Amino acid sequence: MIIVIFASHTNQKTAKEPTLQINLVRQMKNVLLILLIFNLHAAGQQRPNIVVVIADDHTMQAIGAYGARYGVSPNIDQLAKEGVLFNRAFVTNSICAPSRAVLVTGQFSHKNGHINNLTKFDGSQDQYQKRLQQAGYQTAWIGKWHLESTPQGFDYWEVLPGQGQYYNPDFLTMDGGQKTTEGYCTNIITNKVTDWLDQRDKSKPFSLVVGHKATHRTWMPDTADLGATDQLNITLPENFYDAYAGRTAAEDQDLSIDKTMLLGYDLKMYDDSIAALKENSISRMNTAQRNTYLAYYARIKADFDSKNLSGKALTEWKYQRYMRDYLATAISLDRNVGRLMQYLKKNNLLDNTMIVYTSDQGFYLGEHGWFDKRFMYEESMRTPMIIRYPPLARKGTVIQDLVMNLDMAPTFLQLAGVAVPESMQGKSILPLLAGEAKGDAWRTGVYYHYYEHPGEHNVYRHFGIRTSRYKLIRFYGVKNFWELYDLRHDPHEMRNLAGEMKHEKLLANLKRELQQLIRQYEDVEAAAVLDNE
């Protein structure tokens, strides 16, 4: 028998007080939910384990469960069949390190201080794993960390320095050392994860984060997967040749496959083996790895040179090569998700473990002619989120409600029966899993703020709101302007409605909603931008 108790918290200072009748109904639902948590913890039953697998730049468009047809995600697809797929999960700041900071703190970037990839995360601040550790959980983070500071609140950690390397990567260790492990990074991380799980104190519940480097640029597949996607002929996205009419930020960006993606660095079309060896990723390889790798790409280079491509033909060749490398890199990622699931099954851990699969953000797979992320547009802001937890998550469920990576920390704390601090700005999604929250009663809009400009790829600073239908974005700094999209009629965000007179009322309403979120989340910088209009 399972009983759930749910003490929900809110930071919505502008929310209206509910009527007494509604309040009583909510309290009754909370009692039922809380009894679930109590029952999970009662009669000697161990509290739920928590496993988070966070990939890097692994986007929804590459995952079969989200409709992709590439056939490179069977294990992740199976996880979705056994759990809940969130179709509208969003990040608050689409860039690697800030997303991880949001995950552990449950706070927006402007609150946790880690607004871009250039700063160092303050590890002394409150984080969910610290509270779980204090409550008796064993905590671990293994793999990509990318927050530059020493991990805190973990009983065990072994992390990649910075972005890490795909081949024979270095790992930073708790004793202050650094060691190289030979092999392919995605496989190595899973090996280290299962080793830790074997050695943990099995009398205690655990909270584990598996941080993968894949599928980050420069998309280097395992030697076992070289050529695995070469037979794919991938259809160009319908807006691949976007002209960016009416969208200044999109026009000024520097993340296009045509102009930004490099034949050598990105696509491994090296002029010769000496040039290849200058790439740190290649120079790290042992002889067998290097010979296999260079031979594979040399064959592709010879064919490429024979074509003498230019113009659109060259751009489209680059797109196909990019996608084949990206998807081949994703194959190993998916295979290692399967390895982890098999371990948990073999060790009878599946039924009492919440398993979360997600990514630090989305990624462009040719939409708008781009790769990378950063923008508040859908392919970048949306992220995969799949949760398997049999006591609450009914298998095969698809949830359309708006959720954020901000919601993970309070979710884990409430699942463990640990108080959620008021400083956390997210909301536990356990009510969604239990079917006790839905639609506008849950959340009417999500908030986003991107900061890294000037910086790589020249994406202007911007913030905005995304509702179930509309998106309003305010770009600021070098250039100042609004963008407005009706996602029902324009899902690819091609027509900016902000300057059209007939949408003035809609624009005004969304501005008010945006200002409410800015006040609610106490974003001083965004408030100052709007105050100065």
Local confidence pLDDT in tens for the 533 residues of the chain: 333 334 444 444 433 344 444 444 444 445 546 555 555 554 445 899 999 999 999 999 999 999 999 999 999 999 999 999 999 999 999 999 999 999 999 999 999 999 999 889 999 999 999 999 999 999 999 999 999 999 999 999 999 999 999 999 999 999 999 999 999 999 999 999 999 999 999 999 999 999 999 999 999 999 999 999 999 989 999 999 999 999 999 999 999 999 999 999 999 998 876 667 677 788 899 999 999 999 999 999 999 999 999 999 999 999 999 999 999 999 999 999 999 999 999 999 999 999 999 999 999 999 999 999 999 999 999 999 999 999 998 999 999 999 999 999 999 999 999 999 999 999 999 999 998 887 778 999 999 999 999 999 999 999 999 999 999 999 999 999 999 999 999 999 999 999 899 999 999 999 999 999 999 999 999 999 999 88
Q: Where are the alpha helices (DSSP H) in 347-495?
A: 378-381, 408-415, 430-433
Question: Given this model, what pLDDT does residue 281 score?
Answer: 84
- Candidates 138, 118, 111, 130; CA nearest to 205 is 138
DSSP 48: P
Amino acid at 264: G
The set of residues, in sequence order, having a beta carbon less than 8 Å from that of 305 and lying 6+ positions away, is: none
Q: How many angstroms separate the CA atoms of 4 and 434, rounded?
A: 9
Q: How many angstroms separate the CA atoms of 285 and 269, rounded?
A: 17
Beta bridge partners of 170: 180
For the chain, what is the radius of gyration of the CA atoms? 23
Question: Given this model, what pLDDT does residue 18 score?
Answer: 41
In order of 502, 506, 516, the CA distances from 497 in angstroms are: 9, 10, 22
Span 3-219+333-443 CATH architecture:
3-Layer(aba) Sandwich (3.40)
- DSSP letters for 374-393: -SSSHHHHB--EEEE-TTT-
Q: How many angstroms separate the CA atoms of 369 and 258, rounded?
A: 7
Q: Where in the chain is the domain with CATH 3.30.1120.10?
A: 448-531
Phi-psi region of 359 (alpha: psi -120 to 50; beta: other; left: phi over 0): beta
CB 439 within 8 A of CB 460: no
Question: Given this model, what pLDDT does residue 33 score?
Answer: 60
Question: Given this model, what pLDDT does residue 441 score?
Answer: 87
CB 172 within 8 A of CB 154: no
CB 128 within 8 A of CB 104: yes
CB-based burial label for 497 (10 Å; 0-12, 13-18, 19+): buried
Whether CATH 3.30.1120.10 fits 448-531? yes
Question: Given this model, what pLDDT does residue 35 score?
Answer: 55
Q: Where in the chain is the domain with CATH 3.40.720.10?
A: 3-219+333-443
Using a cut of 0.75, tell me whether the model's pTM lies above it: yes
Neighbours of 333 (CB within 10 A): 26
CB 106 within 8 A of CB 408: yes
Taking CA 456 as the corner, what is the angle to CA 453 and CA 457, rounded to the nearest 5 degrees?
Answer: 90
